[in-house]
Structure 1
């Protein structure tokens, strides 16, 4: 039975109990409950409730989002829940015309999708739980000449209650230089970011989809160290490029001193902290050793704010490549059978595998995902008393 506005002012349950009940409900139900009365509608849209609901959803119903390469399906998204049930995610009709799409970021229940087949760079912001999607305006720069779009990323910062898309242009005319643009959900517009590239000597602003933790995006990028001698080959090292979403600031982080990056390695998240895999192949690809390093905040012996520690080292009697962490499972695949997905438990060393041939021919990206009420715009809403 639908309550009137007057009924909502005198609830039959204490307000705190009502609040706790609503937090437990799925997004689909909360969307319907917004029609109960105006007060419920406004409350369900508040920043504090959206964040509390997301925290609960992340802890109680964590999902693994998988995108598979498939020439017949531009997105080809699938979800895996904590009961190991597997289901397909249907994209909204607004993206039906896309011929080639890639998820470049997932944060706070929102997906940033890039149309890789468009003449001009094109993005969509999509909340699969609410089924709301919005096409992002085109970036500022629409110049001439050969343009290479390097780093891409999307993340959300609860500090400023804003999500941002970051892109880097490499413009080739007589010389090559970079240009950074940032799109803000709260303003609905792009801005060029002033950055002193001489503060990042040798850094290649090029990276795959970043990981986002605590309001910061992270990419693994190359940095060229010039030897100074024309006869010597310049050294290329891997560093971590970070972007503070609230402050619009880039910084560089070094890898763990004892990390053996080996033939494979990738950034990931572990308990909402930045982490990195070190993947070493043993023998003629008969087995693997996977080390997991986690970055922690604090002052170490070197007086640095951040320090790395090795949390896990796992040996396998088969060769797999790690892609990320979900719950306590390392998401992995066998390179010569990319349709087989392995979940390797970091505590027990036990593994499960899934034949995913019906999904696609190879795994593209993976993200930790939780249902969220976060809108794709109009983020700044006052919190009414409940």
Structure 2
């Protein structure tokens, strides 16, 4: 590329070339480069640049996980594409709090914190890359001896909004008794109608994909998948795939941008892992949802717990090898979906938990009352337009 000169002045790169370079850099150097000039500092706040940088980051996601289910230390780790481990710096609001990880979306992490005998006190929305975070008080006071909370976190391009979904259920039978939704755009909670959830008891954590939050439950004794549309705030039911192996352990995940399901047999060895992906047929009024089995691993003489899909690999933790149980110890393994290659990583822990895909981003964490909020929200057309432009 030739440098440009004007009237004998020092050579320079065109502004669009500089922007194209910057949007491909990690967040850490970008934060350092803010002091180069005011234009760069302002550039990082524009919706166009935030969306473009996010798109490039999503091409090489990290695998984020923790070693504990619930703790006040929250030891989050990152595994990069070179299989190197990194630590995640703590958010300032985590001190002296018990924190439980809810989900990750576009570089934002959602946690719920506990105070006073494990009663929930607030949610934390945190961008580890920019080190910005906000605290969101819970919408209502609950007693964990009486109520249970099913929580999801996701984003919809249709309304350009991040939302926290909280489903309240009776602890005795987990039947739904209330639903609240927090909107980051509005900076407030609202209660929505329970509707067709009145006879559902929830049994599994939630995952978000393509503007929806998915969880599962029991309806009249049968397992169902419940989808919450973040834009319309409407619940719908999805059938489970025809699982033939019983009993099975299942885990919701995302594969190739679609809602998916990982399953494995719970009793006996050898173990194998199946990947199911759902296809939606909008032209069909009856069989709208169609499950397709995309992958079945080779059987191995050990017990697996599947967690997620990361870089075309099934992430599993292994607790038994050759009949020898490793008490209170787990190790991390990967199944390559394309080649079926099985790889054991040198990552061990007493309780490996909360495996998610994580991408560094400049996405802001601000309340709707902030003066900067409207200028920082990414418009719904930005990512699509950028994909065409680059």
Distance, in Å, in 2 between the alignment partners of 1:344 and 1:176 is: 37
1:249 aligned partner: 234
Q: Distance in 2 between matches of 1:341 and 1:46?
A: 39
Contact 1:296 1:309 in 2 (8 A): yes
Q: Is residue 112 of structure 2 the alignment partner of residue 114 of structure 1?
A: yes
- Equivalence for 1:194: 193
* Cα pair 2:157 2:211 within 8 Å, conserved: yes
Give 1:258 shift. 5.3
Instruction: Decide which of 309, 313, 333 is 1:329's aligned counterpart.
Output: 313
Give yes or no for contact 2:297–2:335 (8 Å, CA) kept in 1: no
Distance 1:168 1:302, change over 3 A: closer
Once the two structures are superposed, the pairs formed by residues 175-190 of structure 1 within 5 Å of their partners are 178-190=177-189
Maintained 8 Å contact 1:67/1:364: yes
Q: CA deviation at 1:252?
A: 1.2
Matched, 1:289 2:272: yes
Task: Quote the Cα distance in structure 2 between the aligned partners of 1:97 and 1:117.
Answer: 9
Deviation at 1:171, TM superposition (A): 5.5
Query: Following the alignment from structure 1 to structure 2, what is the Cα–Cα distance between the partners of residues 326 and 143?
Result: 36
Counterpart-to-counterpart distance in 1, 2:273 and 2:176: 37
Shift of 1:40: 3.2
Equivalents in 2 of 1:262, 1:41: separation in Å?
55
Matches within 5 A, 1:185-334: 185-196=184-195, 199-200=196-197, 202-208=199-205, 210-223=206-219, 225=220, 236-257=221-242, 260=245, 262-280=247-265, 285-299=268-282, 304-319=287-302, 320-334=304-318
Determine helix, strand or coil for the equivalent of 1:356.
strand
Query: Aligned ranges for residues 17-166 of structure 1 at < 5 Å?
Result: 17-59=17-59, 61-69=60-68, 74-98=73-97, 100-118=98-116, 119-139=119-139, 141-142=140-141, 147-166=146-165
Tell me if structure 1 keeps the 8 A contact 2:72–2:94: no
Q: Which runs of 5+ in 1 are unaligned?
A: 1-10, 226-235
Correspondence 1:374 to 2:372: no
* Alignment TM-score, normalising by the size of structure 1: 0.82
Mean Cα deviation higher: 13-22 or 66-75: 66-75
| Shift in alpha-carbon separation, 1:107–1:301, aligned structure 2, 3 A | same
Contact 1:262 1:278 in 2 (8 A): no
Q: Report the 3-state secondary structure (helix = DSSP H, G, I; strand = E; otherwise coil) of the residue aligned with 2:250.
A: coil
Q: Which deviates more, 127-136 or 261-270?
A: 261-270
- DSSP 3-state at the match of 1:20: helix
Structure 2 CA distance, aligned partners of 1:329 and 1:252?
Answer: 28
Q: 2:343, 2:355 → 1: CA distance?
A: 17
- The Cα of 1:264 is off from its aligned counterpart by 1.1
Q: Contact conserved, 1:261 with 1:279, CA < 8 A, in 2?
A: no
Q: State the TM-score, normalizing by the size of structure 2.
A: 0.81
3-state SS of the aligned residue for 1:368? strand
* Cα pair distance change 1:301/1:143, threshold 3 Å: closer
Q: For residues 143 and 316 of structure 1, do their structure 2 counterparts lie closer, same or farther at Cα, with a shift above 3 Å needed?
A: closer
Change (3 A) 1:142 1:345: same
Partner in structure 1 of residue 13 of structure 2 = 13
Other structure's SS at 1:220 match: strand
Partners of 1:148 and 1:171 within 8 A in 2 = yes
Matched with 1:8 is: none
CA deviations 1:225-254 (Å, max 9, x no partner) are 2xxxxxxxxxx2221111111222221111
Task: Tell me the SS of whatever aligns to 2:53.
Answer: helix
Computed over aligned residues only, the root mean square deviation of the Cα atoms, in angstroms, reads: 2.9
Change beyond 3 A, Cα 1:85–1:277: same
Instruction: Identify if the C-alpha distance between structure 1 residues 176 and 330 changes in structure 2 by more than 3 Å, giving closer, same or farther.
Output: closer
Q: Extract unaligned runs of 5+ from structure 2.
A: 1-10, 320-324, 368-372, 383-390
Bigger mean CA deviation after superposition, 67-76 or 318-327: 67-76
Contact kept, 8 Å, 1:289 with 1:313, in 2: the verdict is yes
**Paired residues of 1:43 and 1:49 also in contact (CA < 8 A):** yes
Q: How far 1:14 sits from its partner (Å)? A: 3.0
State the Cα distance separating 1:275 from its structure 2 match: 0.6
Residue number in structure 2 paired with 1:343 = 334
